[in-house]
């Protein structure tokens, strides 16, 4: 056992100051609470649960700075023009590139407070569309990157079969394509290596009958799907399937706690209520949704109906757990023209917007990833983040205010408030540094210079 004494420790029951954690040799938490443990190693600052990241496309990290100009041939910029640039970049990547990009993205996640990630991975084939000699090559590069960095991983190989409802796949999508047998074989190959879920890309990209066959073939474990990200998608599903995406999934797919509906931006009140009743997770990616001009999820009513949510860095344009939550809250404030729209009268856990958003996202993220994370409690993995009480953004704060300071107002000016990060009982970031950061950075730089000369 390794014991720690935190100045301030966030448990499900609230803050304890000081708080003690005993970490077992297998990297799980044996005990956590206010009871004194003699000889415990001191941790200055605020110790909080690591945040799960429920939606990532790791290789998009290499697009930062190169997709924010008006694209040739487009009068305005939308998701669709961005997608063209993404396809061009993706088609040039080899396995080494994929691993290098993922490692940098995952290191950025650790440094921002994410300690686990669900990787929505759809690049399966060679650039010409032929399978690799090892069909799991690209997926296993993601697994390797996660191991190098030390982040928890739920692998979500993506099933992609069409270019729209009733449409053949685009030529640019040739690296994504697998038939059901090939897809199920990939899932089984990955199972011994890492937590695995299934990810039918969307109702646009996976025909309804194929989706239902997939669900019958894999009756357990996480299911992630893009749903209602754009109004065009909603209209296409209504025309082709007779129902909007979430409406169709509620009626036909048996939504329950294993499901994460990524984005769910353009859904009706009835659809949001159905998601809440089903116990499904709304997979919100506020920074990406803002970057792509997708729209805004209406969190207030969903949250008050008991709806569960988590956050994802998605396109990895800006990787930051606190910034995702801040964008989520500020978007709600702009829409409602009110402040603190997710809070309710009660106690510290319900009246603090930072605490409400942080608690909701960590719990929903843990459910989405199907990993024993999201809280500091016995039996769960010891995924901890230490916020530096000497960081300028947090100076003068108390346990009562620190999450509001970090989530609602905290910036990077004067230094990142995330000082130390533990995953599975092992310190992977100490004093803002990772043991492999120089190698990871050098490999990432090589990829960026080669693909963006």
Phi and psi at 420, nearest 5°, equal -130, 150
CA distance 136 to 276: 35
Q: Answer whether 156's CB lies under 8 Å from 175's CB.
A: no
End-to-end CA gap in the chain: 50
Among 314, 323, 383, 389, the active-site one is 314
What pLDDT is recorded for position 412? Answer: 64
Q: How confident is the model at residue 414, as a pLDDT? A: 66
Q: Are 253 and 198 in contact (CB under 8 A)?
A: no
pTM: 0.97
For residue 72, the tally of other CB atoms under 10 A from its CB is 8
* Helices 437-451/95-112 angle, 10° precision: 130
Contact 227, 262 (CB under 8 A): yes
pLDDT tens-place values along the chain, 453 residues long: 899 999 999 999 999 999 999 999 999 999 999 999 999 999 999 999 999 999 999 999 999 999 888 767 766 666 777 888 899 999 999 999 999 999 999 999 999 999 999 999 999 999 999 999 999 999 999 999 999 999 999 999 999 999 999 999 999 999 999 999 999 999 999 999 999 999 999 999 999 999 999 999 999 999 999 999 999 999 999 999 999 999 999 999 999 999 999 999 999 999 999 999 999 999 999 999 999 999 999 999 999 999 999 999 999 999 999 999 999 999 999 988 999 888 887 777 788 999 999 999 999 999 999 999 999 999 999 999 999 999 999 999 999 999 999 999 876 666 799 999 999 999 999 999 999 999 999 999 999 999 998
For the question of residue 314 being annotated catalytic, the response is yes
For 93, other C-beta atoms within 10 Å of its C-beta total 20
Domains of the chain in sequence order? 2-49+375-439 (2.30.40.10), 52-369 (3.20.20.140)
Which has the closest alpha carbon to 82: 107, 54, 57? Answer: 57
Closest CA to 159 of 181, 142, 141, 138: 181
CB distance 201 to 163 below 8 Å: no
Which is the catalytic residue, given 121, 124, 263, 303?
263
SS3 for the chain, per residue?
Answer: CEEEEEEEEEECCEEECCEEEEECCCCEEEEEECCCCCCCEEEEEEEEECEEEEEECHHHHHHCCCCCCCCCCCCCCCHHHHHHHHHHHHCCCCHHHHHHHHHHHHHHHHHHCEEEEEEEECCCCCCCCCCCCCCCHHHHHHHHHHHHHCCEEEEEEEECCCCECCECCCHHHCCCCCCHHHHHHHHHHHCCCCEECEEECCCCCCCHHHHHHHHHHCCCCCEEEEECCCHHHHHHHHHHHCCCHHHHHHHHCCCCCCEEEEECCCCCHHHHHHHHHHCCEEEECHHHHHHCCCCCCCHHHHHHCCCEEEECCECCCCCCHHHHHHHHHHHHHHHHCCCCCCCCCCCHHHHCHHHHHHHHHHHHHHHHHCCCCCCCCCCCECCEEEECCCCHHHCCCCCCCHHHHHHHHCCCCCCCCEEEEEECCEEEEECCECCCHHHHHHHHHHHHHHHCC
Residue 18: asked if its preceding bond is cis (omega within 30°), the reply is yes
């Amino acid at each position: 056992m390794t014991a720690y004494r935190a100045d301030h420790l966030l448990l499900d029951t609230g803050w304890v100051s000081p708080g003690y954690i005993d970490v077992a040799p297998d990297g799980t938490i044996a005990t956590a609470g206010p009871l004194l443990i003699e000889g415990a190693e001191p941790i200055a600052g605020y110790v909080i649960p690591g945040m799960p990241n429920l939606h990532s496309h790791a290789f998009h990290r290499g697009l930062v700075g190169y997709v924010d100009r008006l694209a040739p041939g487009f009068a305005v910029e939308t998701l669709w023009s961005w997608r063209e640039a993404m396809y061009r970049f993706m088609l040039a990547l080899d396995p080494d590139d994929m691993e290098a990009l993922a490692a940098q993205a995952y290191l950025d996640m650790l440094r921002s407070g994410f300690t686990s990630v669900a990787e929505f991975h759809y690049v399966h084939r060679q650039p010409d569309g032929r399978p690799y000699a090892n069909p799991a090559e690209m997926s296993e590069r993601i697994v390797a990157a996660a191991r190098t960095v030390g982040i928890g991983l739920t692998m979500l190989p993506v099933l992609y079969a069409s270019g729209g409802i009733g449409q053949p796949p685009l030529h640019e999508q040739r690296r994504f394509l697998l038939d059901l047998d090939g897809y199920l074989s990939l899932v089984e190959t990955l199972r011994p290596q890492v937590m695995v879920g299934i990810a039918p890309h969307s109702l646009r990209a996976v025909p309804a009958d194929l989706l239902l066959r997939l669900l019958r073939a894999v009756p357990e474990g996480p299911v992630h799907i893009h749903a209602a990200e754009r109004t065009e998608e909603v209209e296409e599903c209504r025309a082709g399937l007779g129902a909007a995406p979430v409406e169709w999934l509620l009626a036909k797919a048996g939504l329950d706690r294993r499901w994460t509906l990524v984005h769910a931006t353009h859904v009706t009140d009835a659809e949001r209520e159905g998601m809440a009743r089903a116990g499904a997770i709304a997979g919100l990616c506020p920074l990406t949704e803002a970057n792509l001009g997708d729209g805004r999820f209406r969190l207030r009513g969903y949250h008050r109906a008991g709806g569960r949510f988590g956050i994802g860095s998605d396109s990895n344009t800006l990787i930051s757990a606190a910034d995702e939550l801040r964008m989520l809250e500020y978007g709600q404030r702009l829409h409602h023209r009110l402040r603190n729209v997710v809070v309710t009268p009660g106690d510290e856990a319900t009246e603090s917007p930072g605490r409400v958003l942080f608690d909701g996202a960590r719990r929903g993220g843990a459910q989405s990833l199907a990993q024993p994370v999201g809280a500091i409690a016995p039996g769960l993995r010891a995924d901890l983040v230490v916020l530096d009480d000497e960081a300028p953004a947090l100076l003068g704060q108390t346990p009562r205010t620190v999450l509001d300071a970090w989530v609602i107002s905290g910036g990077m000016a004067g230094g990142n408030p995330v000082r130390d990060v533990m995953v599975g009982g092992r310190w992977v970031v100490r004093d803002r540094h990772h043991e492999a950061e120089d190698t990871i950075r050098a490999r990432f730089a090589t990829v960026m210079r080669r693909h963006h000369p």
